[in-house]
Amino acid sequence: MSSELTSKVDKEARKRAAAVLRDKFLNLIEQLKKGEPLIMEIPMRTLSNAIYDEKRKLLLLGEKKLKRNFLDLNEARRFMQTALMASIIYDALVNDEYPTIRDLYYRGKHSLVLKSIDGKIISSENTWDEQKESDSVIVDIEVFTSLLREEMLILSKEKGKVVGNLRIRSGNDIIDLSKTGHGAYAIEPTPDLIDFIDVDAEFVLVVEKDAVFQQLHRAGFWKQYKSILITSAGQPDRATRRFVRRLNEELKLPVYILTDADPYGWYIFSVFRIGSISLSYESERLATPDAKFLGVSMSDIFGNAKKKPYLSDIERKNYIIKAKEADIKRAEEIKNYEWFKTKAWQEEINTFLQKKAKLEIEAMASKGLKFLAFQYIPEKIANKDYIS
């Protein structure tokens, strides 16, 4: 692709990633030259090697490593897959390609055929059959090289949106996120390539639901309370998490998360704050250990010794949704997560288990958008009425 079509930032990112990938795999060639067995040492990604770092408040990969030996029959297939995927990613980097994990799956999908001298097929083996396999190999390469997939210019679908008093540089453009009209800025899949130019905001509010984001945006919430308003549109993707983390870490902005009052909402908060167990290798870069759960909390619904509830008896009757079996089960699981074992979270979860009641943010919006935007949210922030 001609140079004007793609950004300079991308070209530099390609060079960096290609160099790391090359170095890491050249080591294997060195082993081969020395007549040593071909072995890759890759950090283990099992639950037993996912460690909750109390101090940094992050879910991290431990020290355990697995050895992948080309000459071990049990490991040869995975070794082949790893080398194949690395070469495909490397080719994509040097050829100005932007693959997705789905097309990396297709790029590598074929049969390795062993034929006899007279051309008969002796054996045939597929490189991989399902995307689950190739995805897992990509993660191996990420932990092996310490390069996130985004740094290797692997793109993905991206749901996160942002508005607020922030100017950024992305690609060749400078974008003013306070000038998006009624629409919003859709975050790029490679948020590490964004430069923050200047900011005039006091906090970040992340809203689980896109429709509530639209309401708060339209009502001028982020203008009234100098803030950056973000939606993850459900379960947050990697880019949205990384973008939020960077706002917190680099711009020193407090981050508040607003979800439904239910175990699914708590889990969304947890993914922002801690990371997910299955992907603890990425937590170090993607999680925001400083994020706060602003609500909707059980005490907003029912009140407590120190606080009046935000809902009247009749509103509770009309708005509360009865928890399902699956919700109860999920809450009991979450209750046992290391990072939910604080007094405040145990209280929150116990109240839920006792009342068996959940509530959507929309119920708060139905009390009036003015109530949600100009009373409930700012009041809770001012009173530090959140859970860490």
Which residues line the annotated binding site for Mg(2+)?
208, 260
Site for a second copy in 95-124 (CB under 8 A): 95-100, 102-107, 109-111
Residues near a second copy (CB under 8 A), total: 76
Q: Which residue out of 52, 98, 106, 337 is catalytically annotated? A: 106
Question: What does the alpha-carbon distance between residue 360 and residue 322 come to, in Å, rounded to a whole number?
Answer: 11
Distance CA 376, CA 270 (A): 22
Cβ distance to a second copy smaller for residue 28 or 372: 372
Exposure pattern of 58-94 as b/e (b: 16+ CB <10 Å)?
bbbbeeeebebebeeeebeebbbbbbbbbebbbebbe
Please state the closest distance from residue 291 (CB atom) to a second copy, in A. Answer: 22
- For residues 361 and 212, give the distance between their C-alpha atoms in angstroms, rounded to a whole number: 8
Site for a second copy in 173-212 (CB under 8 A): 173-175, 179-190, 193-194, 209-212
Residue 103 tokens, joined:
């097309």
Within residues 287-326, the interface with a second copy by CB under 8 A covers 314, 318-319
Rule CB under 8 A: say whether 4 interacts with a second copy: yes
For the CB of residue 283, give the shortest distance to a second copy in the complex, in Å.
Answer: 23
CA dist., res. 251 & res. 164, Å (int)? 14
Residues 206-245 contacting a second copy, CB under 8 A = 209-212, 214-215, 218-220, 223-224, 233
Spell out, one character per residue from 366 to 385, where the chain touches a second copy: x when CB under 8 A holds, - when not: x-xxx--xx-----------
Residues 5-34 that bind a second copy (CB under 8 A): 5-7, 9-10
46/226 Cα distance (integer angstroms)? 42
Evaluate the omega torsion of the peptide bond into residue 255 and state whether it is cis, within 30 degrees of 0.
no
Q: Is 90 a catalytic residue?
A: no
Judged by CB under 8 A, the stretch of 90-98, 140-148, 264-272, 299-307 that binds a second copy is 90-98
Residue 359 vs residues 184, 270, 279, 386: alpha-carbon distances, Å? 27, 18, 29, 16
Nearer Cβ to a second copy (183/303): 183
Evaluate whether 170 touches 188 at the Cβ level (below 8 Å): yes
Q: Which residues are catalytic?
A: 106
